[in-house]
A and B are shown apart, each in its own frame.
Chain A
């Protein structure tokens, strides 16, 4: 039995040491989840190559229980947004996020996914994927080296460790409505901003 499960250290009689472990529900729940985080096989740009290198022999994602990269969002727990998110791509990114089952985590990898990066001023670039989907861990760098990504993944594990069954959002009563998928119009239309957009148009008309 791994030692990390055994904290809070209750006094176990010496004759039972090694056979019995006492732990909390949260700890064993999180322990099980942290070593089976399956990332989505989802590459956007340059950082995706470093993500693949991380899965390669030298850095070996499998040591963290993450070797199975699933191309289908239905089977994964972690979305590694690896690269520049463009306006043309964001509807798909949001849709993939909505399709992932809970519990789900998002790691934004690289400067572009965090905040637009070198391409921030581009007309087709989203300045940070967190404008649309909630991000758990940001890994800066352009591109982050595989070890930097692994450090970010360890951060995800640490985050999982701190969660509690009672409070996690996927056991709450309210149903998660999902994030509305943006539409490609003359420019990107974020449906959450739709009322504001409408207001702007009517204001303009009033002025005219």
Chain B
């Protein structure tokens, strides 16, 4: 019969409309405006309304999620000590070459120090590939989860300097708990190995 295909197709849309109300009726209030509700809408058997009401609700990002990079610093006696040693690997692997680093120098001897004096990232160039974080041997540069970076002026805002890039290690532990724990464990193991190596010599 002509037109049967269309009617069959309309049945599918009708079922979608029905599902919307049926799901709402079944789960009630707890479907919206809380994290469990958002997670429910992300599972493979989700049905009904699929919308995440940004900005009231936010889609949780995966731990591996990467946006622009940031520098990790450790809090030591109230001072920000960046983990970065200005080795320059991130600026070498960066595919868009959007990282500029000036290595700090000892003001007296002029010898290079293991810390950056200046560190810039041009986020107008950055392609969020994550190479800098991947190849950093000191876990000093990591990919951020913060994507709300829109601004009215790019000349002012879109070259990030060291001040803006530095974020505490606690923030890193918060957004990437698994990575942080894994790195901490690896470091502890490394330290233990070193200690074990040193002991026989003594």
Q: How far is the CB of B125 from chain A (nearest CB, A)?
A: 6
- Give CA–CA (A141, B123) in the complex, Å: 7
Assess whether B148 is in contact with A117, with CB atoms less than 8 Å apart.
no
- Give CA–CA (A130, B152) in the complex, Å: 12
A72 at the interface (CB under 8 A from B): no
- Give CA–CA (A120, B124) in the complex, Å: 9
Give the contacts of A144-197 with B (CB-CB under 8 A).
Answer: 144-145, 147-148, 150-152, 154-155, 159
A59 at the interface (CB under 8 A from B): yes
Stretch at the interface among A19-27, A31-39, A93-101, A131-139: A131-139
A65 at the interface (CB under 8 A from B): no
Q: Check A115/B55 contact, CB under 8 A, given A57-B50, A58-B50, A142-B126.
A: no
Please tell me which one of the listed residues B68, B95, B152, B153 contacts residue A141 in the complex, with CB atoms under 8 A apart. B68
- Please give, as numbers and ranges, the residues of chain A lying within 8 Å of B149 by CB-CB distance: 139-141, 148, 151
Q: Count chain B residues whose beta carbon lies closer than 8 angstroms to a beta carbon of A.
A: 29
Q: Check A150/B154 contact, CB under 8 A, given A111-B127, A142-B127.
A: no
Number of A-B contacts (CB under 8 A): 98
B109 at the interface (CB under 8 A from A): no
- Please give, as numbers and ranges, the residues of chain B lying within 8 Å of A115 by CB-CB distance: 122, 124-125, 154, 158
- Give CA–CA (A118, B129) in the complex, Å: 10
Assess whether B127 is in contact with A137, with CB atoms less than 8 Å apart.
no
- Please give, as numbers and ranges, the residues of chain B lying within 8 Å of A63 by CB-CB distance: 51, 53
B115 at the interface (CB under 8 A from A): no
- Give CA–CA (A183, B106) in the complex, Å: 53
B54 at the interface (CB under 8 A from A): yes
Kindly name the residue among A140, A154, A159 whose own CB sees the greatest number of chain B CB atoms within 10 A: A140
B151 at the interface (CB under 8 A from A): yes
- Please give, as numbers and ranges, the residues of chain B lying within 8 Å of A118 by CB-CB distance: 95-96, 125, 127
Assess whether B51 is in contact with A128, with CB atoms less than 8 Å apart.
no
Assess whether A117 is in contact with B127, with CB atoms less than 8 Å apart.
yes
A73 at the interface (CB under 8 A from B): no
The chain A residue with its CB closest to the CB of B16 is: A57
A114 at the interface (CB under 8 A from B): yes
Residues of A within 8 A of B (CB): 57-60, 63, 111, 114-118, 120, 128, 130, 135-142, 144-145, 147-148, 150-152, 154-155, 159
Given A145-B147, A147-B147, 7 new contacts (CB under 8 A): A63-B51, A139-B149, A140-B150, A140-B151, A152-B150, A154-B55, A155-B152
